[in-house]
Amino acid sequence: MLSKFYVREHIKSALQEDIGFGDITTENLAGENDFLKAELNTRNDGVLCGCEVFKQVFDVLSGEVEIKFYFKDGDLIKKGDKIADLKGPAKDVLMGERLALNYIQRLSGIATETRKYQDAIKPYHAKIVDTRKTTPNFRAFEKYSVFTGGGALHRFNLSDCAMIKDNHIKLAGSITEAVRKLREKISFTHKIEVECDTFEQVKEAVECGADIIMLDNMPVDLMKQAVEYVAAKQLSSYAAKSEECQRAGSQEVKLFNNSSIDKISQQPLTETNYSTQTPPHPQGKGVCHDNLSTLQPFNPSTDTDLSPYSPIALSPLNSHTSIPPYLHTSKIIVEASGNVNLDTVNSIASTGVDIISSSAIVAKAPTLDLALDIE
């Protein structure tokens, strides 16, 4: 996720900011033959993140500082743990010390905070995700920290996903019109998310084909109602599409895809093939037969697990194959946002939402206290 060239360029800029025209203290006290040994220790419990970035600071300075890590990114560390040993020219160790610590403390702090949130919703399937409320020019590092802490990632920037907010709705005139205009102009690879403040907006967003529904600052009871509504609408939609497949004389292929069920309609190679995804089993696992009302548990001894390929159509394709828009569908993702903190996140997850976005895991994360102790 963090490309080495990107990290190095960022570090070069940070070193220029920190060192300026020279470290007048170190350069006048440290000789060319002075060497230091140091330990990187932690004074807090937490999740370690940023080892490679820490190392790259000294590599950019001279490449002469040797570092041996005893932990890796994502590891849980305890107060008093020795994270790494360092040895090298005194000038390089001292000049790079503060910047290297700034990186690893900040990244570890975010990873630690993210882990707290994700642990708080363990009984539920939801994932904690970040937002675009990040430090300017530091987003890649902060997103890497969220991922390392066990969270998932929202869009990296404005070109990743179309997100329709209140001001966009006002500009377009309605949610429906905003989604219509975007569908006409953006790439088919991009999803459309709609921020909804009311239940009526949720219904409109579902009806006009939004891929992601954000429940913004909704009370928990209304959030649960919205999640149930979205699930019911998808079940109804899938049932209609399944009937369409049956009328085409399709044969089913059983699939199991984690918490969802996929159905493949298969016809001879000279005929058109259709594929559609069917709704989740009430218990999270299952396979689907032609009669969608009959769901059976996935049987690994008799059923074919094709989950690595889902939700892509797996029917044999030929030059005459086409997938009508009304048969090409996928699960609507429901996101909760607003008033998310460690006191509320569990109750939010209990509503059945898929993801919970929180700016707090980055913006309010305290740095993890690590220190470079010179021997």
Instruction: Summarize pLDDT for 85-108 with one digit per residue, the tens.
Output: 999 999 999 999 999 999 999 999
What is the average per-residue pLDDT within 39-54? 98
What is the average per-residue pLDDT within 185-204? 96
Instruction: Summarize pLDDT for 133-166 with one digit per residue, the tens.
Output: 999 999 999 999 999 999 999 999 999 999 999 9
The residue ranking higher by pLDDT, 232 or 293, is 232
**pLDDT at position 244 over 70:** no
**pLDDT at position 12 over 90:** yes
**pLDDT at position 124 over 60:** yes
- Report DSSP letters for 53-110, one per residue: HHHHHHHHHTS--EEEESS-TT-EE-TT-EEEEEEEEHHHHHHHHHHHHHHHHHHHHH
Q: So what's the pLDDT on residue 190?
A: 95
The secondary element (H helix, E strand) that includes residue 372 is strand 370-374
The residue ranking higher by pLDDT, 47 or 260, is 47
Q: So what's the pLDDT on residue 317?
A: 32
**pLDDT at position 53 over 80:** yes
> How far is residue 315 CA from its own chain's centroid?
30
State the pLDDT confidence band at 271, using cuts at 50, 70 and 90.
very low
**pLDDT at position 281 over 60:** no
Collapsing DSSP to helix, strand or coil, 373 comes out as strand
**pLDDT at position 256 over 60:** no
Task: For residue 351, give both structure tokens.
Answer: 């509503």
> Please, which residues have CB within 8 angstroms of residue 299's CB and are 6 or more apart in sequence?
287
State the pLDDT confidence band at 245, using cuts at 50, 70 and 90.
low
Q: So what's the pLDDT on residue 237?
A: 72
Q: Which of 108, 193, 173, 107 is nearest to 142 (CA)?
A: 107
On whether the CB atoms of residues 164 and 179 are closer than 8 A, the answer is yes
Query: What average pLDDT is seen over the chain?
Result: 83
**pLDDT at position 42 over 90:** yes
The residue ranking higher by pLDDT, 284 or 332, is 332
Q: What percent of the chain has pLDDT over 70?
A: 75
What is the average per-residue pLDDT within 245-256? 47
Q: Can you give the residue ranges of every domain in the chain?
A: 4-120+365-374
**pLDDT at position 131 over 90:** yes
> Please, which residues have CB within 8 angstroms of residue 57's CB and are 6 or more apart in sequence?
11, 15, 96, 99, 100, 103
Q: Which of 289, 358, 346, 369 is nearest to 120 (CA)?
A: 346
Q: So what's the pLDDT on residue 200?
A: 97
Omega before 280 within 30 of 0, i.e. cis: no
Q: Which of 328, 302, 322, 358 is nearest to 117 (CA)?
A: 358
Collapsing DSSP to helix, strand or coil, 287 comes out as strand
**pLDDT at position 10 over 80:** yes
Instruction: Summarize pLDDT for 339-365 with one digit per residue, the tens.
Output: 999 999 999 999 999 999 999 999 999
State the pLDDT confidence band at 331, using cuts at 50, 70 and 90.
confident
CATH superfamily of 4-120+365-374: Quinolinate phosphoribosyl transferase, N-terminal domain (3.90.1170.20)
Instruction: Summarize pLDDT for 257-269 with one digit per residue, the tens.
Output: 333 433 333 333 3
Enzyme catalytic residues: 133
Q: d(Cα 31, Cα 118) in Å, to the nearest integer?
A: 48
What is the average per-residue pLDDT within 244-249? 56
CA separation, residue 206 to residues 189, 192, 226 (Å): 19, 11, 10
**pLDDT at position 324 over 80:** no
The residue ranking higher by pLDDT, 254 or 203, is 203
